[in-house]
Structure 1
Amino acid sequence: MKTTADLLLHPVRLRIVQALLGDRRMTTAALAAELSDVSTATLYRHVATLTDAGVLEVVDEQRVRGAVERTYALRLSAAQVAEEDLLAMSPEDHRRAFMGFVAGLLADFDRYTGRGDVDLRRDGVGYRHAALWLSDEELAEFAADLRRVVEARAGHGPGDGRVRRIFTTVLMPSTP
């Protein structure tokens, strides 16, 4: 039996989950177009794995030229690494997971910059480091504030001039 960490931190499955974030519903063909560097057979295998694990759910089925085309949605509650799995991971497991996370982020940025029409200001793209001196209590308050800000906007759907944007955070103590 795979742990949620084993299931979700695989590079291809992580990208599938990320593609469906923001209440997106996609067919395997739409996922294949978005993850064009992943072979069709590999994509189908990982979609099946995530569906069998309850991370993806089939929200629609259409007959297309004799085949059934399924539309998938993310079950956000199932798309999170369980606390007990995180606690059981070794430092090396965390390094590998973080490397997969960063590699996915780099791939997203490569796809963005590779599209040709790149304007960081227009597109609202930014990346920066900030150092904050926070007690444990202040850190908990900061995290709660940030969670409220994101949750207030997480329910927005497509339309009204909205562009799907990826928001990524990494928070860790610095070394002395």
Structure 2
Amino acid sequence: MEMAEIVMNPVRQRIFQYFLLHKTGTVKGIRKALSDVPSASLYRHIKILTDSTILMVVGENRIRGTVESVYQLNKDAMETEDETGNAVQMSLLSICATFAKYFSSGKADSKKDMLLFTNCTLLLTDEEFSGFLTEINQIAVKYMKKEAVEGSKTRQITLISSPSNE
């Protein structure tokens, strides 16, 4: 399985998000945070991530005769040079596929689902753009830390920055 295919899976992206917020975690902790994901599926995704060295075991907890692995995101495994842009293109195709599935489901209601698509052009220095990204990250982390409550819905937000052809 190619790296792009591994990281573009929606459940595995949620597992990444868990580790970005928690640094380390156990299957029990991840299962609590991703309660809508069946246990067998969660174990399968964690195995894929571990086999591909994206997750690594950094400790063990002994609990009544069993061993619970403590995992951590291996950021080095995800740092790859992508001079051809294949990973970015795979990501964009994955986003397109998600929208195609949504609209072909027969249940698409963009107003009720609060579907959002926006595009803007910014004229910023590298330092200003870095500050902009920092602010967006702070807001995203604030909401990523929220616990699920009744009525919570899974929503995916994608921010893409690209050069502008003027």
Q: What TM-score do you get using the length of structure 2 for normalisation?
A: 0.65
Structure 1, gaps ≥5 residues long: 1-5, 32-43, 58-73
Q: AA paired with 2:74? A: A
Distance 1:56 1:159 in 2: 30
Q: Which residue of structure 2 aligns with residue 98 of structure 1?
A: 88
Task: Determine the C-alpha separation between the residues in 2 that align with 1:113 and 1:29.
Answer: 28
The offset of 1:29, in angstroms, is 4.7
Aligned to 1:120: 110
Q: CA deviation at 1:105?
A: 0.6
Structure 1 residue 18 corresponds to structure 2 residue 13 = yes
1:145 to 135, 138, 151: 135
Deviation at 1:12, TM superposition (A): 4.7
- Matched pairs, number: 136
1:81 corresponds in structure 2 to 78
Q: Is the Cα–Cα contact under 8 Å of residues 13 and 47 in structure 1 kept in the other structure? A: no
Distance apart, 1:30 and its partner CA: 4.4
Question: Post-superposition shift, 1:17?
Answer: 1.6
Secondary structure of the residue aligned to 2:151 is coil
Is the CA contact 1:55–1:78 (under 8 Å) kept in the aligned structure 2? Answer: yes
**How far apart in 1 are the matches of 2:7 and 2:131?**
32
Aligned to 2:55: 55
8 A contact 2:55–2:74 mirrored in 1: yes
1:112 and 1:78, CA in 2 relative to 1: closer, same or farther beyond 3 A? farther
Describe the shift of the 1:103–1:24 C-alpha distance in structure 2 as closer, same or farther (beyond 3 A): same
Q: Partners in 1 of 2:87 and 2:117 — Cα distance? A: 21
Q: CA offsets per residue over residues 118-144 of structure 1, 9 Å max, x none?
A: 221221111122111111121011111
Quick check: 1:130 aligned with 2:127?
A: no
1 or 2 for the larger relative contact order (CA 8 Å, sep ≥6)? 1
Cα gap change, 1:8 to 1:154, in 2 (>3 Å): farther
Structure 2: runs of 5 or more not aligned: 19-32, 58-70
Describe the superposition over 1:22-71 as per-residue Cα deviations: whole angstroms up to 9, x where unpaired: 6425346546xxxxxxxxxxxx5x753312325288xxxxxxxxxxxxxx
Alpha-carbon separation, structure 1, partners of 2:38 and 2:50? 13
SS of the aligned residue for 2:100 comes to helix
Deviation per CA, 1:50-106: give whole Å up to 9, x if none: 12325288xxxxxxxxxxxxxxxx85x436832xx34xx32x1xx211111011111
